Structure 1
Amino acid sequence: MASDCNPKKFHIVMFPWFAIGHMTPFLHLSNELAERGHQISLLCPKKAQIQLEHLNMHKDKITFHVLPVPHVEGLPVGTETASEIPMFLTGHLVTAMDLLQDQVKALLQDLNPDFVFFDFSHWIPELAKEFGFKSVCYSVVCAASLAIALVPGLKKAPKTEDSALMEPPEGYPSTKVLLKKHETQKMSFLFMEFGKGITFYERLTTAMRNCDAIGIRSCRELEGEFCDYIGGQYWGKPVILTGPILHEPVEVNLEDRWKNWLDKFDPGTVVYCAFGTQVILEKEQFQELVLGFELTGLPFLVALRTPDGISSIEEALPEGFQERVGERGVIYGGMVDQPAILGHKSVGCFVSHCGFGSMWESLMSSCQIVLIPFLGDQILNTRLLADELEVAVEVERDEIARFSKEGLCNAVLCAMDKDSKVGQTIRKKHQRWMKTILKPDFGSNYMDEFVQQLNRL
């Protein structure tokens, strides 16, 4: 049970970026704060409210306030969340969010909160000065991602043909981050326009420079050096950590269709794969992926969005694939209860895009971890897990970031082989981190300290 270290109760407004991968952790944080008696107002689009409502564990304390997302030229009519559009249209959705500034201002004036938590709406600190609340720029990605975004010279050309070693400036954590050539190109999104007249980098740094505190969904055990570096870059501004805010995976509530299928297999033999709500593979890479799972000879469950330009998952499958794999392989084009899947005794390997939520869920499960990152923060999360913590195997890619069925198969078998040196290393180190993260009161202690630091603000 969470302890309540302070009698003062706050009214906190949550205003996350309109992506399910951002709104969900904001709601998880809301649940933790509501459990401690604080009142929460969560601002989001109507479609997001429908998707998130079932995760509201404290309906008497957490209230959704629906924001009507305006139409912006270039966006499909009716778009409200990032999962509805391809990545290249995301900037238009950010523009739509910025156009809500007057409505948000009126709502905040009416709600009169003590705090507003935000991530991409860099204009919130200006409203804080006007209305007298405190603003917290809350990051749902790892501290390493924020720290690397601040590194000068990120746009420099690779030093070698194969990789680009970003030289850390003075005061940067001793760990150097090695990005492969194709990954360096992916990081260029930081300096592209992200909303009308502003780059992603400018949006991020403006938010962190002007807010009252920087909140990060992480823990010092994992990223203490990076958190200190970030605070140092902003003149000692408070960097307050919530911990991972995830619960230990359990088998309850797993849908019968998945439980009945998983129950057919021996413990630790099933490979589960999911890439979140935003990653959409091209048909060729989708087929390489499923053929790679076929090559492993292991049972597998793949939950992915339908490939780009294809009407259904079934249409995208390689010829004769389903007949060859039979019941040992399931390809599903929808969402599943990931923590419940990972908690099932038959699941022994998690192939992930290493989004921050999936990163924590993988660390807290007993599954072996295999990673195929696609976006900037996923790449940096992968560097943390595969290179620094050595708890995961990364699938090899070519210079244009494509993977092969053989590469995927080798990574899975390498991770699951108890006799291989790599398999033994990642298993041992993963178990060590699990013990740390799953200690009794690990998460609640972080949250109690987090609330105390809000009081200090």
Structure 2
Amino acid sequence: MFPVYAFGHFIPYLHLANKLAEKGHKITFLLPKKAQKQLEPLNLFPDSIVFDTLTLPPVEGLPVGAETISDLPNVSGKVLSYSMDLLRGQIEAKVRALKPDLIFFDFVEWIPEVAKVFEIKSVSYQIVSAACLAMALAPGAELKLPQPPDYPSSKVALRGHDANLYSFSINVNQKLFVRITTGLKNCDVISIRTCEEIEGKFCNFIERHCQRKVLLSGPMFQDKSSKPLEDRWNHWLNGFESGSTVYCAFGTQFFLEKDQFQELCLGMELTGLPFLVAVKPPKGSSTIQEALPEGFEERVQGRGIVWGGWVEQPLILSHQSVGCFVSHCGSGSMWESLVSDCQIVFIPTMGDQVLTTRLLSEELEVSVKVQREDSGWFSKESLRDAIKSVMDKDSELGKVVKRNHKKLKETLVSPGFINGYADKFVEALENEVHNTKSS
């Protein structure tokens, strides 16, 4: 396994590794040293899943000691991709020595070439939404059309600020889009972390355009930790009524501008609700405290916390007092929100998140999106209004998204649903290997 060096990709890849190991397979997981320590607790089969560390070669613009996207000041991660390209010789040497049956990758588009040389199968395992992959593959996508002619959903199609943000992401990450689509078209097996019930028509679209079967792994969750929520958070959350607290997080890869961070804090304050915000210090600030709005801590004391460290997000979302989850709609947070009982509010920050947000808010109607101002960002009032629209008991919109979310959640957590997808996915991969060896 050779995912892009980002924790939002490492973790779902490790969930897949655990499922493969559970079925008796051995996995070599290629990753940087810093990530190994953080991922080791999630490795449920250390005898079968071997972490093999690689050091990123230096390239211009890559900070000394940087190993993952969260270490970079520039969210595009271009320099990290260039550095990962320089690992090709080491990857080839490892493939030559290990002789694996399959090699999994997502953004490193030359992996299929390496696999063909050694006569093994390459698997593009994508954790971003199928809606996003379909948009990247659609004819006309390179022209940044709001909706390519044969894209399978008019509701997910881009308009207004969503179109602007998506176009901006394409411009900043043009090479990344090319990497992903090149990998999809050249690999032996396309696989996506999604399910038919949510993104079936987008997966069918990808099959048609890439002329190959798309395998779905389902959400591919790890069983919830038996470890309880940290005492500090459990004790604090216990002080509030059931379903009253707002939890907000933006993942490990995104840094807010200071003024945007302050607007976020003030918007939370305006809701009048208890809240826990877990984000990295904004750009230009070494700590959360130094960036907070003046007088903010005193005004929200006792009901609001802004935290700059790591938190156990799934355990916080399952706490009875948490009733709303505000996030960037990153892949992991999206799935965690869907299997929670929380109302869902999204503030997408990148292209793939824009499309996934539109899928969940416009087509499935299980969430709401914070409206952006003419500046392209959101105001404290628009954040407050989005949260109140789902948290106020008399809100008609809140009732609709809660009803739709509950119905979808019942499907996702129904007995055998997630494991059934994962089992069929592994069986399909085993068949790929068996068919190759028999031929």
TM-score normalised by the chain length of structure 2: 0.95
Take 2:226 and 2:423, find their aligned partners in 1: how far apart are those partners? 28
Partner of 1:7: none
Matches within 5 A, 1:50-449: 50-88=37-75, 90-156=77-143, 165-169=146-150, 172-188=151-167, 192=171, 199-235=175-211, 237-247=212-222, 252-449=227-424
2:115 is paired with a residue whose SS is: helix
* Deviation per residue, 1:125-161 (Å, 9 max, x gap): 111111121110010111001001112223547xxxx
Q: Quick one: which amino acid aligns to residue 371 of structure 2?
A: E
Unaligned runs of 5+ in 1: 1-13, 158-163
Aligned equivalents of 2:16, 2:226: Cα separation in 1: 23
8 Å contact kept, 1:251–1:341:
no
Cα contact 1:392–1:426 (8 A) shared by 2: yes
Looking at structure 1, the residues matched to 168 and 191 of structure 2 have their Cα atoms a distance apart, in angstroms, of 23
SS of the aligned residue for 1:41 comes to: strand
Cα contact 1:249–1:343 (8 A) shared by 2: no
Range with greater deviation from structure 2 (322-331 or 183-192):
183-192
Query: Matched residues in 2 for 1:326 and 1:193: separation?
Result: 39
Which residue is 2:436 aligned to? none
Q: 2:187, 2:143 → 1: CA distance?
A: 29
- Displacement of 1:105 in angstroms is 0.4
- Contact 2:69 2:75 (C-alpha < 8 Å) held by counterparts: no
Could you say which residue in structure 2 is the equivalent of 1:41?
A: 28
Aligned-CA RMSD value = 1.7
- How far residue 250 of structure 1 moved from its aligned partner, in angstroms, is 6.9
Deviation, structure 1 residue 455: 2.6
Give yes or no for contact 1:249–1:364 (8 Å, CA) kept in 2: no
How far apart are the structure 2 equivalents of 1:201 and 1:89?
11
Tell me how far 1:408 sits from its aligned partner: 0.7
Q: Counterpart in 2 of 1:8?
A: none
Asked if 2 retains the 8 angstrom alpha-carbon contact of 1:25 and 1:140, the reply is yes
Moved more, 404-413 or 146-155: 146-155
Residue 247 of structure 1: CA displacement? 4.5
CA distance in 2, matches of 1:111, 1:401: 49
Structure 2 SS opposite 1:186: helix
Structure 1 equivalent of residue 435 of structure 2: none
Alignment gaps of 5+ in structure 2: 433-439
Question: Kindly tell me: are residues 116 and 129 of structure 1, through their superposed partners in 2, closer, same or farther at Cα, counting changes over 3 Å?
Answer: same
Q: Which amino acid letter does the alignment assign opposite residue 31 of structure 1?
A: N
- Contact 1:313–1:331 (CA<8 Å) still a contact in 2? yes
Retained in 1: the 8 A contact 2:170–2:351? no
- CA drift at 1:117: 0.5
Q: For the structure 1 residues 256 and 111, does the alpha-carbon distance in structure 2 shift closer, same or farther, using more than 3 Å as the test? A: same
Q: 3-state DSSP class of the match of 2:302? A: helix
SS at match of 2:254: coil
How far is the alpha carbon of 1:86 from its aligned partner?
Answer: 2.3
Deviation string, structure 1 residues 86-119 (Cα, Å, up to 9, x no partner)? 2356111100000000000001111110100100
TM-score, normalised by the number of residues in structure 1:
0.91
Q: Per-residue CA shift, 1:388-410, capped at 9, x if unaligned?
A: 11011111102332111111111
| One-letter amino acid of the counterpart of residue 210, structure 1 | N
Deviation string 1:368-403 (CA, Å, 9 cap, x unpaired) is 001100011111110111111101111110233211
Separation in structure 2 between the aligned mates of residue 193 and residue 268 of structure 1, nearest angstrom = 39
